[in-house]
Homo-oligomer: A and B are copies of this chain.
């Protein structure tokens, strides 16, 4: 799946800003790719991009219309079809994060076939993968892992990419979830892959690279989540990370959607390193990333200092305090030749 920027963001007529969370994530992380937005009457979301027609967007060189909104049930309403068909007729590809496949609407399928444009359903994957091979690939890899789902694994990997690129390092975010695929234009929603191919798909997502190249791989779920730990373990084995960053939300007491208690950070580090050694014996933890949104700044600083002392690792909130401390540690642990970077 290779989605080509720049993007025109289609918001339909969703009822609130939250429904455009995926689209907002794309704008936050790839503002240079987001040329404009197109909305239907009644739309209550706003990405603060120029509103433009399909024709205007095409004239400005837009390559892909992005349907980056979440509807109740993830369906594609019939009255959104005209905009999508117009985009295809104007020479754009279309990429959607809805459950309904774009091609299930005959008008969309026929227009795509006639114009030769591509339809991307990011929540689905029809791609065939090999099973995981498990042997170490060249290049350096960092994986974000979590004490739970939805604790900032994607955000942390993207923040690391931004900081490392600003230092002149060769680093790529690698997406394993829907929003991440839109942000990087590439990747696979790993939870949609057939179970036998989880680690094989991750090997495909993060292929052989130069010895000083860092892939920053978006983690999913948690080894301690009773619904999704299989995905997390397959992802860990396929990613064969040299380094892991543990992501955490300090106010949660039970795992998302179930009654299982949250594991400790120490437990997550220990099990991650133990299982990760199967495909990378040198795996090590390099930082802790905490979402401190629920705490005031003083409490956040105290918590991070305590975590840092307890685990001997830099601990930060990427939104509040940035990830420089983790990148510093990464470069200490994995020194690059003097010719690389700043």
Contact = CB atoms under 8 A, between A and B. Distances in A.
Contacts of A190: 195
A304 B193 CA distance: 40
Interface stretch (A130-138, A288-296, A322-330): A130-138
Interface stretch (A33-41, A53-61, A222-230, A311-319): A222-230
A194 B196 contact: no
A233 B132 CA distance: 16
B228 A131 contact: yes
Contacts of A271: 274-275
B192 A231 contact: no
Contact of A199 (B134, B199, B226): B226
Nearest to A131: B227
A211 interface: no
B191 A258 contact: no
Chain A: interface size category: 35 or more
A223 B133 CA distance: 15
Contact of A226 (B191, B230, B278): B278
Contacts of A224: 278
A141 interface: no
A257 interface: yes
B278 A231 contact: no
Nearest to A193: B195
Given A233-B233, A271-B274, A274-B271, A134 B194 contact: no
B193 A135 contact: no
Interface string A182-224: 0000000011111110111000000000000000000000011
A229 B199 contact: yes
Contacts of A258: 132-135
Nearest to A237: B226
29 contacts: A131-B227, A131-B228, A131-B257, A132-B228, A132-B258, A133-B258, A134-B226, A134-B227, A190-B195, A192-B196, A193-B194, A193-B195, A195-B198, A196-B227, A196-B231, A199-B226, A199-B230, A223-B233, A226-B237, A226-B279, A229-B234, A229-B237, A230-B232, A230-B234, A230-B235, A230-B237, A231-B234, A260-B279, A271-B274
Given A193-B195, A199-B230, 11 more contacts: A132-B227, A133-B227, A134-B227, A134-B258, A134-B259, A134-B260, A193-B194, A196-B231, A199-B228, A223-B233, A226-B279
Interface of A: 131-135, 190-196, 198-200, 223-224, 226-235, 237, 257-260, 271, 274-275, 278-279
Q: Which 10 A-B pairs rank lowest in CB-CB distance, beginning with the nearest? A: A230-B234, A134-B226, A191-B196, A132-B227, A230-B230, A131-B227, A198-B230, A233-B233, A230-B233, A134-B258
